[in-house]
Amino acid sequence: MRHHQISCQIALVLGCLVITSAVWSQERQRGSDRKVPPPLKFYQGRKIAQTMHYSGAEWLIRNEREREERCTLMWANLGVKPGMTVCDMGCGNGFHALRLARMVGKSGAVLGVDIQPEMLKLLQKRAAKARVRNVQPVLGTISDPKLPVGKVDLILCVDVYHEFSHPEQMLSAMRKSLTPRGVVVLVEYRAEDPQVPIKPLHKMSKKQIMKELPRNGFKLVKQFDKLPWQHMMFFGRDPDFDADKSDSADSSGD
């Protein structure tokens, strides 16, 4: 376990290079996202983690991952069915996307969104090797996942939400992309559990998650508490949420 802890942390430290501000200035230079505010350092009292760099992508497909995280159990409890349109948000090299593609079948589709084109190239390479044809790579920006409006049945966010430099913009866009009964599933390492061998910056507590999602128009609809390391929380659109309130919500960075 100790060896594992060290290798996990080295991988995260190596992988977590500062790319967000570089992406932000590129977007501004291109003029494609002029209204995007600067990346937040804190949100609702939580320090935002740096983006995991694509050079650390091998860690995402490590052999121990199933034993550590019981991904098979997580997938089995997602409620994904054939024919669905699902999104793997922050898909990296597609560890979850490829599995989701099999779960939705030929009649369904998986949108693999990431902000690093290199991650999407790795996803495409792995999809081609596995002969998976229903995964569509989508290059998002730090504030816009570029998802179709009202079309997505489920958005899976594994180990990514805590990296969002623009949580409010991302949540707003994700909310708009959902079908009326669509859900966002947040899977985050448990901050409450010191036994989970992941750096604190890359973990989230349920309390913190509940400080962030409901104020952005999401309602907790279900939880699955049997994963060894992670929270798994399902959020649907809160019908009472008035879109105007989001503008006045505190986004001061604390």
Ligand X SMILES: C[S@@+](CC[C@H](N)C(=O)[O-])C[C@H]1O[C@@H](n2cnc3c(N)ncnc32)[C@H](O)[C@@H]1O
Binding site for ligand X (CB under 6 A): 51-52, 60, 89-92, 95-96, 113-116, 119, 140, 142, 145, 158-160, 163-164, 170
Whose Cβ is closer to ligand X: residue 202's or residue 237's? 202
Whose Cβ is closer to ligand X: residue 85's or residue 230's? 230
Whose Cβ is closer to ligand X: residue 48's or residue 84's? 48
d(CA 66, CA 85) in angstroms, rounded, equals 24
Least Cβ distance, residue 98 to ligand X (angstroms) = 10
In the complex, residue closest to ligand X by CB: 90
Least Cβ distance, residue 239 to ligand X (angstroms) = 26
The closest alpha carbon to 92, from 117, 64, 114, 63, belongs to 114
Whose Cβ is closer to ligand X: residue 93's or residue 208's? 93
Least Cβ distance, residue 114 to ligand X (angstroms) = 5
Least Cβ distance, residue 16 to ligand X (angstroms) = 9
- Dmax of the chain from CA atoms? 50
- Written as six digits, the tokens of 173 are 């866009």
Report the relative pairing of strands 85-89 and 152-158 from DSSP bridges. Answer: parallel
Least Cβ distance, residue 194 to ligand X (angstroms) = 21
- Position 162, amino acid: H
Instruction: Name residues whose C-beta falls within 8 Å of residue 111's C-beta, 6 or more positions apart in sequence.
Output: 85, 86, 87, 88, 136, 138, 147, 152
Positive or negative: CA dihedral 16, 17, 20, 21: positive
CA-to-CA dists, residue 237 to 130, 149, 163, 249, angstroms: 34, 14, 22, 17
Least Cβ distance, residue 241 to ligand X (angstroms) = 21
Least Cβ distance, residue 13 to ligand X (angstroms) = 13
In the block, residue with structure tokens 């949100």:
43
Is residue 71 within 8 A of residue 51, CB to CB? The reply is no
Whose Cβ is closer to ligand X: residue 6's or residue 181's? 6
Whose Cβ is closer to ligand X: residue 24's or residue 237's? 24
Long-range contacts of 2-9 (CB under 8 A, 24+ apart): 4/64, 4/68, 4/197, 5/197, 8/59, 8/197, 8/198, 9/197, 9/198, 9/199
d(CA 24, CA 6) in angstroms, rounded, equals 31
Whose Cβ is closer to ligand X: residue 6's or residue 106's? 6
